[in-house]
Amino acid sequence: MRSRQLPVGRPSRLTIAALAALSCTGHVLYPAWLAYASRGRRPATPPDPPSWPALTVLVPAYKEAGCIEAKVRDVLANGYAGPLEVMVVADGDPETAERAEQAGATVVSAPERLGKAQAVNLGFSKVTTPVVVLSDANNVLSPGALAALVRHLEDPSVGAVAGSKVEDDGRGEDLYWRFESWLKAREWALGSTIGLVGELAAIRTDAWEPIPSDIAIDDLWVALDLAARGYRVAYEPEALAHEPPLPSVRGQWERRTRNVAGGLHVFARRRGQLGPGGGLAAVEIWGHRLGRYTVVPLSHLALLAVALRRLRRSRLAQLFVAGHVVGVVTLARDASPGDASPGGAPSVPTRIAQVLAKGVFLDAVALGGLARYARGDRPTRWATHRR
């Protein structure tokens, strides 16, 4: 009996199914596994410590003269009951340093710009308190956020605590950060998360190790370094950092592709944690980040190519391509200068269009970040606008 052979160049159903599964890994399969693995687990809210430890809120600030005074006031008004110091690292920026000092912060200066990771290193070298909270200069903290973070560090196995970033541009960015917060909550329910965010994170000072000079993504490096040394990273959903959205899709593209390229460099440097010996952290690395940076977008691109070839004879392919068209059109609309989303809650069709646009954008960002990493474009200092 002669075996039936597929036409040369035509992918089999098994190949298509495999591509579909791989393209869904980061945003469907990994979350589904997390939901199953963490079912019934709810981390207890830690109690207040017997006495609140002295705390330094460390704020790296470059070209932040317009917002640094408000930042210092916001931190001091957060309601932390223990001794509190705000330390601003103004590297190569005398104007920001002067404004921060006028607002009541301790200022650490450097004669030239260091980049965020090395500015954090410089700040830690001056810290005398047992706990440090990292926070960006342009965000606003939810009331009680500092105390909510510090409570977790009463457990000596916890080396750091991740807060939650909130950013809403009216065009679907809030959906992304809600998804990220959900992932971190489920990972923490399993025992630890890698989702540390530089916008708001508490770190045990005696667990700190300096960040290498070639690392741009400081929060990811710190989370993996702590995990490698046996510490857990907790997540606190009540500690919110409200971040103003970037004003343009182009700005988001630059930041996200830079983060992907920098993140890939972190994973290359810490490749020993990517295999079975990495334990839970390895699973979270692949599911939460690395898969979404590599396997997912490449599989998605291949699946789109297959769908385009089958467009005339497959209704499923037509729907798949149509979803991408809606996503691209929504992205193009959002990128138009002066175009703003209407006020009020978005309608269901608008939300669907935003989800499709965000999916297309994130896969494109991953591919762009891969290209940047391949050509060695992973700067530790990047162009910023004065705020």
Is 2 within the bounds of a domain? Answer: no
Tell me the percentage of the chain whose pLDDT exceeds 90: 69
Phi-psi region of 126 (alpha: psi -120 to 50; beta: other; left: phi over 0): alpha
In a domain, 40, yes or no: yes
Write out the two tokens for 312.
Answer: 């005339």
Range of the domain at 46: 12-387
Q: How confident is the model at residue 1 (pLDDT cuts 50, 70, 90)?
A: very low
In the chain the first and final C-alpha atoms are separated, in Å, by 74
Would you say residue 204 lies in a domain? yes
| 362 neighbors 292 (Cβ within 8 angstroms) | yes
Would you tell me the crossing angle of helices 68-76 and 94-102 to the nearest 10 degrees?
Answer: 30
The 10s digit of each residue's pLDDT in 98-156 is: 999 999 999 999 889 999 999 999 999 999 999 999 999 999 999 999 999 999 999 99
Q: For residue 202, give the H/E element and its range.
A: strand 200-204
9 has pLDDT over 60: no
Specify the CATH number for the domain of residue 320.
3.90.550.10
Evaluate if residue 344 carries a pLDDT over 90.
Answer: no
| β-bridge pairing 84-91 and 55-60 | parallel
More confident residue, 53 or 9: 53
pLDDT exceeds 80 at position 335 = no
Residue 343 falls inside a structural domain? yes
DSSP states along 47-104 = PPPSSPPPEEEEEE-SS-TTTHHHHHHHHHTS---S-EEEEEEEET-HHHHHHHHHTT
pLDDT digits (tens, 9 = 90+) for 187-198: 999 999 999 999
For the cut 90, the answer to whether the pLDDT of residue 340 exceeds it is no
Q: What is the tally of structural domains in the chain?
A: 1
Residue 264: which residues within 8 A CB-CB, separation 6 or more?
A: 290, 293, 294, 369, 370, 373, 378
Q: What digits encode the pLDDT tens for the residues 72-91?
A: 999 999 999 999 999 999 98
Q: Is residue 360 part of a domain?
A: yes
Mean per-residue pLDDT of the chain: 90
User: Does the residue 193 lie in any domain?
Assistant: yes
Rounded (10°) CA dihedral 148, 122, 120, 117: -160
Look up the pTM and report it.
0.91
Residues 271, 266: Cα–Cα separation, whole Å: 8
pLDDT, tens digit (0-9, with 9 covering 90-100), for 215-262: 999 999 999 999 999 999 999 999 999 988 777 778 889 999 999 999
Would you state the pLDDT for residue 59?
97
Evaluate if residue 341 carries a pLDDT over 60.
no
Tell me which residue of 100, 102, 79, 82 sits closest to 91, measured CA to CA. Answer: 100
